[in-house]
């Protein structure tokens, strides 16, 4: 494997459940940060697989069933990484009175009532949004949805501090993430969105997604003293769901 491909392979293997090689199982901290440049590209690959799955399943199954199966495919391909982060973050927010207390709750492998409720609501909102997306926009939305969510994680991680003093899964990513990585990821997502939806709706969606990512990071800093892998997963879920809900509205504006 060439040095230039290692960050991409690391990004794929970190964000999906589909292994490609064993050579990238112990990446250096700078390689982990560099892999975030490729997060939107991994999202594009996931989105492309969703589009292909949608085309195949739509020949035999109703639209509502296909939407549910697409969500199942995405969760399976990403091993539920971001859904787990969302549930853990909500449980921490609901059960802890201090930042350290919230972080302790987030490490409990059991899911609480608030986490389960939030996870259910995110899935049902995503399902309803996918069912209601106009047929003419379906392929573009499916292609861009995972890319937008993973780009949101990159934007949200930039300049943030890690919440746990002892370190954790996301700490090496934050330590070496640079503006160059964020810029590269942003240029890729802007190009994808403009190609898919046109310049005005695309830029409006990207600006909205970027603002939401930064607001979420500020909220995490206040409530947890920083961000964690779980909070980044929560950001991904927020961006994806809001993107599917928002994009048809933006495209309907004069």
| pTM passes above 0.85 | yes
Look at residue 1 and tell me if it is in a domain: no
Look at residue 31 and tell me if it is in a domain: no
Look at residue 13 and tell me if it is in a domain: no
Look at residue 16 and tell me if it is in a domain: no
Look at residue 49 and tell me if it is in a domain: yes
Tell me how many domains the chain contains.
1
- pLDDT band, very low/low/confident/very high, at 191 (cuts 50, 70, 90): very high
The pLDDT of residue 31 is 76
Question: Does residue 80 come out as left (phi exceeding 0), alpha (psi in the -120 to 50 range) or beta?
Answer: left
Q: What is the mean pLDDT of residues 198-220?
A: 96
pLDDT digits (tens, 9 = 90+) for 89-148: 999 999 888 999 999 999 988 899 999 999 999 999 999 999 999 999 999 999 999 999
Instruction: Write out the DSSP string of 86-97.
Output: HHHHHHHHHH-S
The pLDDT of residue 252 is 86
Q: Print the domain residue range for 242.
A: 44-249
Residue 2 scores a pLDDT above 60: no
Give the other-Cβ count within 10 Å of 159's Cβ: 12
pLDDT digits (tens, 9 = 90+) for 135-187: 999 999 999 999 999 999 999 999 998 988 776 666 777 778 899 999 999 99
| Rounded Cα gap, residues 129 and 246, in angstroms | 9
| Rounded Cα gap, residues 193 and 205, in angstroms | 8
Residues 6+ apart with CB under 8 A from 239: 148, 149, 151, 152, 209, 212, 213
Residue 162: strand, helix, or coil: strand
Instruction: Write out the DSSP string of 40-77.
Output: HHHHHHHHHHHHHHHHHHTTTS-HHHHHHHHHHHHHHH
| Contact assessment for residue 51 and residue 143, using Cβ atoms and an 8 Å cutoff | yes
pLDDT digits (tens, 9 = 90+) for 24-73: 566 676 777 888 999 999 999 999 999 999 999 999 999 999 999 999 99
Look at residue 4 and tell me if it is in a domain: no
Give the other-Cβ count within 10 Å of 169's Cβ: 14
The pLDDT of residue 65 is 97
Strand partners, 227: 162
The pLDDT of residue 173 is 74
The pLDDT of residue 72 is 97
Look at residue 112 and tell me if it is in a domain: yes
Look at residue 76 and tell me if it is in a domain: yes
- pLDDT band, very low/low/confident/very high, at 19 (cuts 50, 70, 90): confident
């Amino acid at each position: 494997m060439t040095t230039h491909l290692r960050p991409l392979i690391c990004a794929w293997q970190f964000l999906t459940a589909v292994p490609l090689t064993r050579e990238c199982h112990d990446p250096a901290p700078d390689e982990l940060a560099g892999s975030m440049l490729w997060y939107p590209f991994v999202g594009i690959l996931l989105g492309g697989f969703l589009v292909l799955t949608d085309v195949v399943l739509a020949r035999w199954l109703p639209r509502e069933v296909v939407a549910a199966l697409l969500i199942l495919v995405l969760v399976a391909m990403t091993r539920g990484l971001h859904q787990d982060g969302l549930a853990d973050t909500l449980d921490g927010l609901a059960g802890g009175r201090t930042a350290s207390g919230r972080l302790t709750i987030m490490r409990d492998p059991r899911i609480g009532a608030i986490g389960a409720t939030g996870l259910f609501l995110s899935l049902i909102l995503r399902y309803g949004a996918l069912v209601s997306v106009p047929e003419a926009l379906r392929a573009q939305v499916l292609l861009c949805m995972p890319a937008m969510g993973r780009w949101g994680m990159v934007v949200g991680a930039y300049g943030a501090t890690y919440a746990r003093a002892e370190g954790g899964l996301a700490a090496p990513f934050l330590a070496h993430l640079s503006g160059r990585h964020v810029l590269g990821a942003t240029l890729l997502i802007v190009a994808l969105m403009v190609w898919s939806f046109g310049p005005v709706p695309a830029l409006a969606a990207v600006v909205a997604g970027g603002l939401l990512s930064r607001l979420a990071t500020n909220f995490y800093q206040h409530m947890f003293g920083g961000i964690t892998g779980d909070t980044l997963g929560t950001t991904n879920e927020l961006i994806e769901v809001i993107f599917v809900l928002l994009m048809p509205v933006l495209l309907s504006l004069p």
